[in-house]
Chains A and B, each alone.
Chain A
Amino acid sequence: MNKLKDTDIQSAIGWVLRTGVFLSIGIVLFGGIVYLYRHGNEIADYHTFKGVPDFVRTGANILHGILTFRGRAVIQGGIVLLIATPIIRVLFSAVGFILEKDYLYTSITILVLLIIFISMLSGHAG
């Protein structure tokens, strides 16, 4: 096993994770300030589960919400980026394993991505 190449992948993965977390938290914070400025004095109600409003639920709606500058849509955009961060990390690992010509681990990594993808589809149906 070539430790040197492993170290290269490791630093790339570290960078992906750090950047993803800081970027998404920054976006969440910004959206949060906008949301609190506009809705801070309203009454919060999370006592019964109704599900989140439609404008922060699907990808297209969140994007529309961000373009029309709605605070909660911006927060949700940051959260989606945060959820994507470890998934992007897995993608980077796949590239690393391909470069190392480690086909066993390339397949394992692709299998993990596939499971996450199926999970995403199952949520869509549910």
Chain B
Amino acid sequence: MSVIELTIIILIGSYFAGLLGSLTGLGGGFIIIPLLTLLLHVDIHYAIGASLISVIATSSGSAAAYVKEGITNMRLGMFLEIATTAGAMTGAMLAIYTSTHYIAILFGLILISSALMSLRKKTGQITKHKSYLAEKLKLNSSYPTADGEVEYGVNNVAGGFFMMLFAGVISGLLGIGSGALKVLAMDSIMRIPFKVSTTTSNFMIGVTAAASAVVYLQRGYIDPGLSMPVVIGVLLGAMSGSKILVNSTSSKWIRVVFSVVVSVLAIQMIYNGIMGKI
């Protein structure tokens, strides 16, 4: 395949990856890596590098918008970034010693579990309970809603911190944002309102990805010819996705369709990993 043909195919594929990733909140990396490896037979190292760059672009782009609205809890994000960046560094180091078969299998497993998690019901939980550690770290805050400012408390700081460490390792090892794991840590473990969890998670994804990208850049994973259409496509797709989200509220069926697509891709990744084709 010529360079121009490959670039156009990747550009179109990445656009849809970014669109679906933004509509479901899972991020573009989940489709980019199977698209590049399974369909276009790109080596998984290059795929991880390109995906990581697109993750930084979409996270930073949308974080800019959310920060302005004042929903993001910046102190919480900053504190948990200690865990995610340390994890991401570890993940990028582990990647040298991990065979690509295992990376493909692990990718498939994380893919399926994230898709299932995205189907969960979102409750507008608010906890008034304030744990000692959260008080000390000034993590309790408030966020704007339709009924004015609502105060919330943060629970189980240590548990959330360890979950973030794991999310960071996965992000560094697989080249994804692992937003689903970050939301799980804040939503289910730390009992933070869903809207705050998602925006704060998104805020942290860019720094987490940057911490492993500095390693991959030097190891030659990040190929400019390949990353260029991926990052442009995913960013444009994510921008269209956020416009659609504003205009429609019922995105239930999109999530179901996406989960099916993702599960098929995940099984393919696991199969190819076991057969040693990746």
Interface residues of A (CB under 8 A from B): 1, 6-7, 9-11, 13-15, 17-18, 20-21, 24-25, 28-29, 31-32, 35-36, 39-44, 46-52, 56-58, 72-73, 75-76, 79-80, 82-87, 89-90, 93, 102, 104-105, 108-109, 111-112, 115-116, 118-120, 122-124, 126
Instruction: Judge whether B174 is part of the interface by a CB distance below 8 angstroms.
Output: no
Contact stretch, chosen from B16-24, B76-84, B103-111: B76-84
Q: Which residues of A sit under 8 angstroms from B207, Cβ to Cβ? A: 86-87, 89-90, 112, 116
Main secondary structure of the interface of A (DSSP, over half): helix
Tell whether, in the assembled complex, residue B211 and residue A52 are in contact, meaning their CB atoms are under 8 Å apart.
no
| Contact partner, B225, options A18, A72, A112, A115, Cβ 8 Å | A72
Known interface pairs A42-B3, A115-B211, A119-B215. Does A82 touch B57 (Cβ–Cβ under 8 Å)?
A: yes
A-B contact pairs, 12 of them (CB 8 A): A40-B3, A40-B4, A44-B6, A49-B46, A56-B223, A80-B217, A90-B81, A112-B78, A116-B207, A116-B211, A122-B93, A123-B214
The residues of B with any CB-CB pair to A shorter than 8 Å are 1-7, 40-43, 45-46, 53, 56-57, 59-61, 63-65, 67-68, 70, 72, 74-75, 78-79, 81-82, 85-86, 88-89, 92-93, 96, 137-138, 206-207, 209-229, 231-232, 235
Contact A126 B93 (CB under 8 A): yes
Return the chain B residue nearest A90 by Cβ: B207
Q: A46-B223, A83-B56, A108-B79 are in contact. List 6 more A-B contacts (CB 8 A).
A: A36-B3, A44-B1, A44-B6, A44-B225, A108-B82, A126-B215
User: With A and B bound together, what is the CA distance between A113 and B6 in angstroms?
Assistant: 37
Q: Contacts A21-B57, A83-B213, A122-B93 given: A42-B226 contact, CB under 8 Å?
A: no
CA distance A77 to B4 in the complex (A): 21
The residue from A17, A52, A124 contacting B222, defined by CB atoms under 8 A apart? A52
Is A119 in contact with B212, judged by CB distance below 8 angstroms? yes
Contacts of B96 in A (CB 8 A): 126
Q: How far is the CB of B230 from chain A (nearest CB, A)?
A: 10
